[in-house]
Amino acid sequence: MYPTVNWMLNNQTLLLPNYVKWASIYGYSFGSSTVTIGAKTHQLEHNQYFSLFVDDTSVDINVSHQLFLVAKLGYKCQNNIGWVEEKGRLSYIDGCTDSLLIYPPRMGDPSLNLLYFPPGICQTKHTHPSIRMGCVIAGHGVSDSWHGETQTSHDLVTGVNFCLEENELHRFRTTDSSMTVIAWHPDGDWGPTDHNHTMLNRTYINK
């Protein structure tokens, strides 16, 4: 359903494996980085997110600080680079907010999201039907997950990446600090279709 790999790169140069061809790479830059796909180089700054398509050329990445990277194999994204805002624009559960950074070009396609937790948040336990890959870009908190009756907790600090498995029961908590997360979703139930999109819906034909 979603052949996917992810990395957290730290002050290093990396040539992506040969299997990352005809794929899409999504990520977030904690500092200055360059992503070279074939003959084209993309210069990334601190606090930028991106989605870039890789055809059958090589991908060289040079990271001066940290770079969070997800590769979705066999999928062609739209090329996007932008800056992350401080908080989300949409309401999420239990007082959190989120923004959709990289939109799905078609319904069901992958997306990249910003998730903001104010201080003093204890989320309701919940699951997702597909994996979630992400990283903490500011602040700190705690991730709780359950496997049967066993609870596992992990400290989340800036620069830490994580993966939530399908239907994994979990929650995030904050105490004295807010926490900002970048989260990649491999699929979804929202997005434009050939019969439902802004340009078509706002086109009126006189009869």
Same fold, 4-83 and 90-185: yes
Give backbone dihedrals phi and psi of 143, rounded to 5 degrees, phi first.
-110, 125
Whole-model pTM: value is: 0.94
Q: What string of pLDDT tens digits covers the 207 residues of the chain?
A: 568 889 999 999 999 999 898 999 999 999 999 999 999 999 999 999 999 999 989 999 999 999 999 999 999 999 999 999 999 999 999 999 999 999 999 999 999 999 999 999 999 999 999 999 999 999 999 999 999 999 999 999 999 999 999 999 999 999 999 999 999 999 999 999 999 999 999 999 997
* The pLDDT of residue 1: 57
Q: Is the dihedral of CA 110, 140, 156, 70 positive or negative?
A: positive
Number of helices and strands in the chain (H, E): 1, 17
Contacts of 137 (CB under 8 A, 6+ apart): 28, 30, 47, 84, 158, 180, 181, 182
* The pLDDT of residue 207: 79
Six-digit token pair at 174?
Answer: 């904050």
| CATH of region 90-185, choose from 2.60.120.10, 3.40.50.1400, 3.30.200.20, 3.40.50.1980 | 2.60.120.10
| CATH of region 4-83, choose from 2.140.10.10, 2.60.120.10, 3.10.20.600, 1.10.4080.10 | 2.60.120.10
Domain residue extents for the chain: 4-83, 90-185
> Which residue, chain included where needed, has tokens 């491999």?
186
